[in-house]
Chains A and B, each alone.
Chain A
Amino acid sequence: MSQPTQYQNWRVETDADQITWLYLDRAGRSTNSISYAVLDELEHILNHLPAARALIITSAKSNGFIAGADIETFTKLNNPAEVASFINKGQSVFKQLAGLSIPTIALIKGFCLGGGLELALSCRYRIAEDSQRTKLGLPEVLLGLHPGWGGSVRLPLLIGGLQAFDLILSGRTVSAKAAAKMGFVDAAVPERHFMQAARYYALKAPVPHKANYLQQITNHALVRPLLAKQMRSQLRQKVSPEHYPAPYAVLDLWEQHGVGDMALALEAESLARIALTDTAKNLIRVFFLQDRLKGLSKGVDFKAKHVHVIGAGTMGGDIAAWCALRGLNVTLQDREPKFIAPAIKRAADLYTKKLKEPRLIQSALDRLMPDLTGTGIHKADVIIEAIYEDLAAKQAVFKNIEAACKADAILATNTSSIPLDEINKALQDPSRLVGIHFFNPVAKMQLVEVVQGQITQQDVINKAIAFVRQIDRLPLPVKSSPGFLVNRVLMPYLMEAMIMLEEGISADAIDQAAVQFGMPMGPIELADTVGLDVCLAVAKNLSKYFGGTVPIRLEHMVKDKALGRKTGQGFYQYKDGKPVRVKNEVGQSTSAEIIDRLILRMLNESVACLREQVVADSDLLDAGMVLGTGFAPFRGGPINYAKARGVENIINQLKQFTEKYGVRFKPDADWNNLK
């Protein structure tokens, strides 16, 4: 055995069977990702490889294999040449790896994503641990990028273009078993068989996996255009090429150049272009903002075992179901079984969709216990009140809770409109109450506002944040001012849309304009989806504090029980759950004004929130609006958008609108601080 060179990020060992083991162990990081240095060292290793029978690449980190290319590297590259150099470096090293004559094996435990999977795809074999935590995929498009180290060529080569682009275009990840079934993992085995499997591939060197005949055909020059057309039209239903160019670019490449060497070079070239787009920059920014929210619970030693939820309505029931899905024991309290039963059904449906395996579904359901008498209160670590919005009723609930709960239980309200400092008056220790405000639908909305009243203990806030992380949601600390952040900023946007409706602009034109801007759903459809009764209640509550008028039409519709999607009639009529749209083309300039009226009111309210310190800084505000409302992610959030467009420009536009439409557009004083 030769004396190995010392590397910063890699450990090289050769065992008695003459198998060389490469352990990736990024210096100073808890998670492996591929930086320039990692590539540089790998290149050196491959150039100085000892005579070995086989090469096995694996991770020395316990949390996973490789999370992808180092994203931070991307944020520091400013010009096309630098980006191209990073991408080309990876391509050339992976090409070298793929060209080795000895068997090469990627031994994968935990996540194997993006650049990590591309490295694995450059090996001859891939062995992955068959466990819940193993996830493989090419999620680059979620960051506005696409694979650049051969993923968009080697994956279709292995499993055919159809399945490969299903993964590449959606960014979704799959389990080891699913990957093995598709064909890009050679063996999905439990950890106890890891060594035997690795040795088998290293020493026996079986014939490598090849795409089957049908899969091969998908990569044929005559077939690719047909498939690409199909996939492109599906893609168009989800994202537009103007807003999200990356998936379209990578699909074009495959369509035109297939899976040969030429395609590899062009993949790198295309990514170098894509990586410097605003979309990529903003999506990467959002990614880091998410990381920041995730990190808020760092250092807090709190782990809930039992959650008690009071109120089994849509919110309470779904919060309870989500907590049980995330492994907590949950008691769900309401007055009568008829209120709880629908929540159990929704939970069962959610678990069936998410967990699939009957045993896992069963244990999630077993963890979710209906509770008519509140037996869960005295054992719960976290108690969440989610009853109807009524101060006296909520106060009564908390009085009861405080008398029966554990001394250190977290007492939380899911209120969206009642100030914490009024609810907590019912408590002997009002500093115990914190807001944990979920959004509907709970299972989809990642953001949770953690609301602090004027006297909420910091320790309680920290624990609430840790709890939100524990159930895999993203906590956003906000001050208990009316509407908190998300609803408050969203409401002017919805109200402006309704004002435009009353002016005679069609719902379709308004919604189209918003979608064109990049919102996931137009404001009118959103109002219908949330429920007009809910909208009205929030609007009334907020206008109490911030002025403004509640549209008369909204009041009438609620009175007439036209509540939106749930009743089949709102601003739209609903057929099979889908709005019936009356197409209404408006001119470019009208459309631009619609967008500005909608968005600028949102921006102005955002600035007001910053001035009032509803959130600590503009990054958190952007994170909240992107994750809580889907505010055009590729624009990086309201404040990021405002800054990119130019604060001066926005102030001017607001001033113009003030003259034209009234004082609701009056620029907030704090805009000057953003200049």
Chain B
Amino acid sequence: MSLIKSSYAKPIYIVDGLRSPMLKVKGKPGPFTASDLAVQVCRALLAKQNFTPEQIDEVVTGCVMPSADEANISRVIGLRVGCGKAVPAYTVQRNCASGLQALDNAAQDIASGRYDLVLAGGTEAMSHAPVIYNRRMVSWLVDLNTAKTLAAKAAVLAKFRPSYLAPIWGLIRGLTDPMVGLSMGQTAEIVAHRFHITRQQMDEFAYESHQRLARAFDLGYLQNEITPLYDTAGNYYLEDDGLRRDTSLQKLASLKPYFDKPFGEVTAGNSSQVTDGAAYLILASAEAVKRYKLPVLGRMVDTAWAALEPSEMGLGPAYVAARLLKQQHLKLDDIDYWEINEAFAAQVLGCIAAWQDADYCRKYLGLEGALGKLDLAKLNIDGGAVAIGHPVGASGARITLHLLNILKRKQAKRGIATLCIGGGQGGAVLLENVEGVE
């Protein structure tokens, strides 16, 4: 097919990709740091290729909360997987879409002609999110360290108050909007309220997500997408462990609201799970595909970004997908399969409702009328973050990879993968199933 207008000056091919099983956070730090997760995924991915890790041109990683030992985590990963000292690497952060941001940056670097072969994706160990001393504690520690005499030290010691020990939980702060002060779950409540999404609709959506993921595992659809993780205690991890094969509508209905207590509708059951995981892809120019005789998984046609009211961040996909379709002169029905990241069931359902609302589409999405009705049979057909989990840095790369695999499996043509982004943004990528370089 002819090349349509794209934000990329050259065609971008995706050659291959892998992800880790997503491991639900169970309170304590999990067995893997963010770079550990990425390393196990990337080295397995690179081992499959018929080029060496040193032949990669750069490594781009999306990660929201790398640990204190993982400054510019992408560089850490590049070195750990054997890309060698000479391969540059950088890290990007766009909250929940950091993984997609990494792919966009990688694509831009290829499109500009700077590079031909880029390893890009995202990783997150949410279970390792930092717990921070509060500001008064830090001031006190500095005073103590700078006190010179024994007497001065004693004086500082005497000033200590137990409240100084109150920690700041990085994960909770990270999932709270810094401008409007709402937790992400509360923004989902707002979206649900605006589009009259009921608790039952949310729970049904969540139930379906688990069912679909279970089926995908059983039918082996994820076998070539997931590489097992191994820890140093002799354990191994094959499946997303947030998957609840035994969940039911009754069980979901019995859960209490988690964010807006006691009258809210968003529960832990109809929200995405806080999870550790990584997903990486290899992006290539046409030249690299030819040079290394690479198989082609698909083409990254175009990417779009949009921003909106932070307290309604969950509607990000509605905004950005509309924009992407418009700039590609495509209609809703031109897209064969969709991946809308399930940050919250309420928010995905909100997006679908928004597209059917002619007033909303005119007023906020710059359309002349309703975008249309999205067939749920085309959406997240193998489940989504409610069942899989949402390791914020990795999800963008995960849904992109999975959508490419769906397009191949279904021999379909086009797909859009899109995410809402904390802070009030949306990101979307248009993918196309191609067999090789045109």
Contacts and interface: CB of A to CB of B under 8 A. Distances in A.
Interface of A: 329, 331, 337-338, 340-342, 344-345, 348-349, 362-363, 365-367, 369-372, 375-376, 378-379
B233 A345 contact: yes
Contacts of A371: 44, 47
Contact of A344 (B44, B80, B81, B234): B234
Given A344-B230, A366-B43, A375 B48 contact: yes
Contacts of A367: 82
Contact of B47 (A344, A345, A379): A379
B81 to A, nearest CB: 7
Contacts of A369: 43-44, 47
A10 B301 CA distance: 71
B168 interface: no
5 contacts: A337-B228, A344-B230, A344-B234, A345-B232, A375-B48
Contact of A337 (B48, B50, B236): B236
B238 interface: yes
A337 B81 contact: no
B81 A366 contact: yes
A330 to B, nearest CB: 11
A366 B232 contact: no
Interface in B26-44: 39, 43-44
B234 A375 contact: no
B250 interface: no
Contacts of B47: 331, 369, 371, 375-376, 379
B232 A370 contact: no
A363 B36 CA distance: 11
B413 to A, nearest CB: 30
B235 interface: yes
B9 to A, nearest CB: 34
B228 A345 contact: no
A370 B228 contact: yes
Nearest to A370: B230
Contacts of B50: 378
6 nearest A-B pairs in the assembled complex, by CB-CB distance: A345-B234, A348-B232, A337-B236, A341-B236, A375-B47, A344-B230
Interface string B217-248: 00000000000101111111010000000000
A329 B233 CA distance: 21
Contacts of A379: 47, 52
Contacts of B233: 345, 348
Among A344, A367, A376, the one with the most B-chain Cβ atoms within 10 Å of its Cβ is: A344
A372 B43 contact: no
A74 B35 CA distance: 54
A363 B39 CA distance: 11
B23 to A, nearest CB: 15
A367 B46 CA distance: 13
A371 to B, nearest CB: 7
Nearest to A361: B232
A345 to B, nearest CB: 3
Nearest to A346: B234
Nearest to A338: B236
A610 B233 CA distance: 46
A363 B82 CA distance: 10
Interface of B: 39, 43-44, 47-48, 50, 52, 80-82, 228, 230-236, 238
Contact of A342 (B39, B80, B81, B234): B234
Given A340-B236, A348-B232, 7 more contacts: A329-B82, A341-B230, A341-B235, A341-B236, A344-B230, A349-B232, A376-B47
Q: Give chain B's interface secondary structure class.
A: loop
A365 B32 CA distance: 13
Nearest to A331: B47
Nearest to A349: B232
Contacts of A376: 47
Contacts of B44: 369, 371, 375
A369 B233 CA distance: 16
A404 to B, nearest CB: 12
Contacts of A375: 44, 47-48
Contacts of B82: 329, 366-367
B196 to A, nearest CB: 46
A366 B79 CA distance: 10
Contacts of A345: 232-234
A337 B39 contact: no
A342 B43 CA distance: 20
A427 to B, nearest CB: 24
B234 A341 contact: yes
A675 B354 CA distance: 100
Contact of B232 (A331, A337, A344, A363): A344
A486 to B, nearest CB: 30
Nearest to B81: A366
A344 B32 CA distance: 14
Contacts of A363: 80
A672 B230 CA distance: 58
Nearest to B232: A348
Contact of A365 (B48, B52, B228, B232): B232
A366 B230 contact: no
A337 B47 CA distance: 17
A362 B228 CA distance: 18
A237 to B, nearest CB: 32
Nearest to A340: B230
Contacts of B80: 362-363, 366
A549 B432 CA distance: 70
A365 B229 CA distance: 13
Nearest to B33: A362
A367 B47 CA distance: 12
B12 to A, nearest CB: 25
A480 to B, nearest CB: 32
Nearest to B82: A329
Contacts of B48: 375
Nearest to B228: A337
Contacts of B52: 379
A274 B52 CA distance: 56
A367 B53 CA distance: 13
Contacts of A349: 232
Among A341, A367, A372, A378, the one with the most B-chain Cβ atoms within 10 Å of its Cβ is: A341
Nearest to B224: A373
Nearest to A352: B232
B285 to A, nearest CB: 23
A369 B47 CA distance: 9
Nearest to A348: B232
A162 to B, nearest CB: 34
Contacts of B234: 341-342, 344-345
A365 B82 CA distance: 12
Nearest to A345: B234
B50 to A, nearest CB: 8
A349 B233 CA distance: 9
B276 to A, nearest CB: 17
A363 B52 CA distance: 18
A143 to B, nearest CB: 38
Contacts of A365: 232
A349 B44 CA distance: 22
Nearest to B233: A345
A367 B79 CA distance: 11
Contacts of B238: 337
A349 B231 CA distance: 12
A355 B328 CA distance: 56
B231 to A, nearest CB: 8
Contacts of B43: 366, 369
A413 to B, nearest CB: 23
Contacts of A344: 230-232, 234
A375 B227 CA distance: 13
Among A349, A366, A378, the one with the most B-chain Cβ atoms within 10 Å of its Cβ is: A366
B124 to A, nearest CB: 19
A370 B52 CA distance: 18
Among B81, B228, B230, B233, the one with the most A-chain Cβ atoms within 10 Å of its Cβ is: B230
A344 to B, nearest CB: 5
A365 B35 CA distance: 13
